[in-house]
Amino acid sequence: MTQQILKRGKEIAGSLRRRITPAFLVALFLSFIFWYSGKLSYTYTAEVPISVTIEGERHRVTCVVEGTGHNIISTRYFKRKKVKLRRTDVEMLPVEGVSDTYQVTSESLHNAIAVRNANLKIISVSALPYICLEE
């Protein structure tokens, strides 16, 4: 019984090798590329890390964004967005009990990043750590 199953398996494998030609593999690969490209035109929601620099201090902020798959992938993997902000671009509140330390408000950071990323809709922004600035 086991030998019959193995013999049948070898016959099927040989049949597949004769039927799968290089032209078939190329067509299969191209169809996958076209399918994937078509899916990237849909609108998705994803988390994208963005590097934010405020007065020389660099921080990584995770943003939840909405946009087409093309825009999300290009921003996440190829553009490597770096947003440079000045003190006047965001609202900074002093941290109580600590001198020269400020907390950037989420709303102002959200607006500053949204203005600089017009191809994506910024839904939310993670909190930025405290920033030490000498007056």
Domain that holds residue 82: 43-132
Indicate whether 68 and 26 sit together in one domain.
no
Query: What CATH number did the domain enclosing 96 receive?
Result: 2.170.120
Same domain, 58 and 33: no
Question: Are 115 and 93 found together in one domain?
Answer: yes
Name the percent of the chain in helix, strand, coil, to the closest 5. Answer: 45, 30, 25
User: pLDDT higher for 122 or 54?
Assistant: 122
Q: Indicate whether 123 and 90 sit together in one domain.
A: yes
Q: Enumerate the H helices of 1-135 as residue ranges.
A: 2-19, 22-39, 69-73, 106-116
Whether the per-residue pLDDT at 54 is higher than 90: the answer is: no
pTM over 0.85: no
Residue 107 and residue 54 in one domain: yes
Number of domains in the chain: 2
70 and 20 assigned to the same domain: no
Same domain, 104 and 49: yes
Are 33 and 72 members of one domain? no
Residue 65 banded pLDDT, cuts 50, 70, 90: very high
Q: Which residue has the higher pLDDT, 77 or 42?
A: 42
Cβ 62 vs Cβ 48: under 8 Å:
yes
- Whole-number pLDDT of residue 135: 60
Residue 89 has pLDDT above 90, yes or no: no
Residues 52, 35 share a domain: no
Residue 30 pLDDT: 95
> Can you tell me the distance from the alpha carbon of 113 to that of 49, in angstroms, rounded to the nearest whole number?
12
Q: CA-CA distance, 92 to 106, in Å (whole number)? A: 10
Collapse the DSSP code of 66 into the 3-class scheme (helix H, G, I; strand E, B; otherwise coil) and give the result: strand
Cβ–Cβ under 8 Å, residues 104 and 75: no
- 49 and 108 in a single domain? The answer is yes
Condensed to tens digits (0 to 9), the pLDDT of residues 6-32 reads 777 777 777 767 777 788 889 999 999
Residues 25 and 77 grouped into a single domain: no
Mean pLDDT of the region 23-44: 91
What integer pLDDT is reported at residue 1 of this predicted model?
66
Are 19 and 67 found together in one domain?
no
Cα 25 to Cα 36, 39, 50, distances in angstroms: 17, 21, 38
Q: How sure is the predictor about 3, in pLDDT bands with cuts at 50, 70 and 90?
A: confident
